[in-house]
């Protein structure tokens, strides 16, 4: 599956747009990470636990978006973007979305 943040794929001609596809996941904080993050704010540096959590959440959201695109017969997803929304205190949704297309 080709995924692009642009609205076209070099060397490919889009036959039709199949619609918007998306995938999301809601992630919550973990008290152990919060304690480590709190300590990091005192001494500075990267908070690796949160970085890994966000990386994994993005990957999961993209995988769900790709599944939705494959289910409708798409060859690619163009205009792909991420969005993050706070769902409640300590929980956030990571959303991956784009336009599913079929090539000629």
Find the mean pLDDT for residues 3-17.
Answer: 96
- Residue 80 burial (10 A CB sphere; 0-12, 13-18, 19+): middle
What distance in Å separates the CA atoms of residue 81 and residue 76, rounded to the nearest whole number?
14
Domain count, the chain: 1
pLDDT recorded at residue 16? 97
Percent of the residues in the chain that have a pLDDT greater than 70, as a whole number: 80
DSSP 95: E
Look up the domain containing 97 and give its range. Answer: 2-103
Find the mean pLDDT for residues 59-85.
Answer: 97
Q: What is the pTM of this model?
A: 0.82
Reported as type and span, the H/E element at residue 66 is helix 48-71
Give 19 or 54, the one with higher predicted confidence: 19
CATH number of the domain to which 7 belongs:
3.30.110.70
11, 102 Cβ separation under 8 angstroms? no
CB contact set of 100 (below 8 Å; sequence gap of 6+): 17, 18, 19, 20, 21, 68, 69, 72, 74, 76, 77
pLDDT recorded at residue 35? 53
What distance in Å separates the CA atoms of residue 61 and residue 43, rounded to the nearest whole number?
32
What rounded mean pLDDT belongs to the chain?
Answer: 87
Find the mean pLDDT for residues 43-63.
Answer: 82
Q: What digits encode the pLDDT tens for the residues 21-45?
A: 999 999 886 655 555 555 556 566 6
């Amino acid at each position: 599956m080709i995924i692009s943040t642009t609205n076209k794929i070099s060397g490919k001609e889009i036959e039709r747009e199949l619609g918007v596809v998306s995938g999301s996941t809601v992630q919550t904080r973990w008290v152990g990470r919060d304690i480590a993050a709190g300590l990091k704010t005192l001494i500075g540096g990267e908070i690796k636990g949160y970085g890994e959590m966000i990386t994994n959440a993005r990957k999961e959201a993209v995988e769900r978006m790709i599944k939705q695109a494959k289910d409708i017969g798409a060859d690619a997803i163009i205009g792909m973007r991420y969005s993050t929304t706070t769902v409640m205190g300590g929980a956030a949704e990571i959303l991956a979305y784009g336009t599913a297309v079929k090539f000629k």
